[in-house]
Structure 1
Amino acid sequence: MPPDLAPGDGREREPAALLRRLPLALMALAGLLCGLGLVFAVAAQWADLPRAARFALLQAAVALGALALVARPRLALPLGLWCLLATGGLLAFLGQTYQTGADAWQLFALWAALALPLALGARADALWGVWMLVALAAVSLWMAAHAGHRWRAEAGDLPVHLAGWALALGLALAAAGAAGRRVGAGPWARRTAAGLAVLLVMATALAALFGDDPLAPTLLALLALAGAAWALGRPAGFDLFGLSAAALALNVVLVGALARLLFDEVPGGEPIARFLLLGLAAAGLLAATVGAVLRLARRAEARA
């Protein structure tokens, strides 16, 4: 047996919390699979059922899930996921049937609004994580719709981007703060919100770097990511995952900006030398970032 798995040190056994968490994970998986099965059935359009029967079946799925949630609050996680996904399936079928002309972001925003009381009542971490996914999908689709239905980042689209970033980062910071803990948002909700929010800001900045006027969008994205990293790195609201995500996004945008500067703005020079400089700068920046995050994590652990 390897020395790091010597008998008696406890590392050869399963984690103590595994058996306690396994039923919760299985319930979440059951609710997710049942809800996704309903959504996939909607996507198949149910050719053998009349329209009224389809609507009745979807509405009954939402209603029965909500009633079961009230009757069995201990099953809040699987039943909540079932209700949330069934609501999405009902809205999707409504859009398929009546062709309302609504943009996709409007359906996702309505889905998030209708599911918000459900998430507040169930107070389940995984349910909040799925709700964050729906809400942030609505934000990203809204940004695309108001930027000419294209995934672009130009100077004229800055008001749209700033509004979208504010909504996304606001949701992430709310989930990581005391308000999120009061309503039941736990690690999964916080990590989902933080990861998607910084991904949205980072993707916009990278799109701007491929455009004609990248300066203003890139600088504002760096400021937004730095502000999120500062908020998530404070002792009062320290969140290691969110801080790491924001720091990684800062690294990616800074390295992308340096690449744009070296290869598009600076004339002359050897390409190999530029790549070498870019690699050394990326490695040094990453090392400095990891060191700073580890120091903040140790400081937060010492205060705990």
Structure 2
Amino acid sequence: MSLHEQLYQWTASQGLDATSARRLRALSGVDDPPGDPWTPLRRGAGALAAGLIGFGLILWVAANWDDFGRAMRFGLLQAALAISLIAAAALRPWRAPLALAAFLTLGGLLAFFGQTYQTGADPWQLFALWAALGLPIAWASRSDLAWTPWALVVATGIGLWMETFGGHSWRFDASTVPVHAIGFVAYGLLCAGLALRPGAASQPWAWRLAVLASVIAISGTALGGLIARDVAPQFYLGLGVMGVGLVLAWRHSEVYAMSALALSVDTLLVVGLARWMSKERLDVGGYFLIALVACGLLAGSVTLILGRLRDAEARA
């Protein structure tokens, strides 16, 4: 059955008047013009071309590495970076993939510098420098092709910073709470900054990656605090941060963030219930109760998110 037929049947079965029928038809998008297939194809081809060029350059340098001196190696990386930046500025249609190539080349240059001179810097400092120097590239490109890897670099740097200042290990106790709290705030600022950047509404993938990385990092830290010998404060801190994020996503009717945050909160609550029940010996009834609570939380979350989405569409 086609969408047109479904609309006619729904209109007849619900007894909608002409105004409501037109509203339903407009919401269905059946009269919208077809999307341009060439734009995503061009973007995909550009991203693939940039990746293949960069990969080919890496293979070529690796194959001739022993024949190059230190100056030659630096010169090749710097030349590749300069050519990518100049070409990105001059060739507007290829700006986004060339910016991606420049950003990746910048990371390779910084990594090679660190390996050559053994600066003794911590890994998070490399990622912080990479993100700082790559920010103008991503900003000028105004494309998710550059913003998405930049977001991944920043998220990785935050995680490495927490690991470094947490005693070069993932310890979950009261002494590392300030470090993890600062890291949680940094993840929140990353998501907020990407949401407020120019063109964020039309290119959401960098923001979505940042949200996903933040949820994974904060949830993992909270779970680490939960499975410690004594429940660490990180569990309650992570659960609270996820709850605050869920409220903000709910207010803005952002279904992607609501889904990720709701799944995180549900997981933390279910594992917390299992931890509490494990103080006593679990039997079949206990496992059944945990499974029942998990199913109930998941079903309730999906129902609430779908209801919120329908309300937002009705107000639009």
- Show structure 1 runs of 4+ deviating over 6 A: 40-45
Instruction: Work out whether 1:222 is the aligned partner of 2:227.
Output: no
Tell me the residue number matched to 2:255. Answer: 240
- Give distance in 2, aligned partners of 1:215 and 1:51: 49
The alpha-carbon deviation at position 95 of structure 1 amounts to: 1.3
Q: Which residue type is aligned with residue 251 of structure 1?
A: D
Aligned-residue offset at 1:285: 0.5
- The CA distance in 1 between the partners of 2:264 and 2:61, in whole Å, is 37
Query: Shift of the alpha carbon at 1:131?
Result: 0.5
**What is the aligned partner in structure 1 of residue 94 from structure 2?**
75
Distance 1:104 1:159, change over 3 A: same
> Which among 291, 294, 299 is matched to residue 303 of structure 2?
291
Against the structure 1 CA distance between its residues 148 and 31, is the aligned structure 2 distance closer, same or farther, given a 3 Å change threshold?
A: same
Q: In 2, are the aligned partners of 1:123 and 1:183 still within 8 Å (CA)?
A: no
2:48 corresponds to which residue? Answer: 29
Give 1:32 shift.
2.8
- Residue type at the aligned position of 1:281: V
Return the alpha-carbon distance in structure 1 between the equivalents of residues 283 and 49 of structure 2. 53
**Normalization by structure 2: what TM-score?**
0.84
Structure 2: unaligned runs, 5 residues or longer: 8-29
Q: Deviation per CA, 1:163-195: give whole Å up to 9, x if none.
A: 01110122112323xx22457872111111110
Aligned mate of 1:203, from 201, 220, 223 = 220
Aligned to 2:84: 65
> 5+ residue gaps in structure 1?
none
* Higher-Rg member (1/2): 2
2:47–2:97 contact (8 Å) kept in structure 1: yes
Q: 2:296 is matched by which residue type in structure 1?
A: G
Listed one character per residue, the Cα deviations across residues 200-245 of structure 1 (whole Å, up to 9, x for unaligned) are 100101111221232421111111011111112223xx42212211
* Deviates most, 135-144 or 24-33: 24-33
Superposed CA RMSD in Å reads 2.6
Partner secondary structure for residue 65 of structure 2:
coil
| TM-score, structure 1 as length reference | 0.88
| C-alpha distance after superposition, 1:81-135 (max 9, x if no partner) | 0000000000111111111111110000000000001111111122111110001
Q: Which residue of 1 aligns with 2:24?
A: none
Alignment equivalent of 1:277, drawn from 279, 282, 289: 289
Q: Does the aligned pair in 2 maintain the 1:73–1:122 contact within 8 Å? A: no
Identify if the C-alpha distance between structure 1 residues 281 and 99 changes in structure 2 by more than 3 Å, giving closer, same or farther: same
Identical-pair percentage? 40
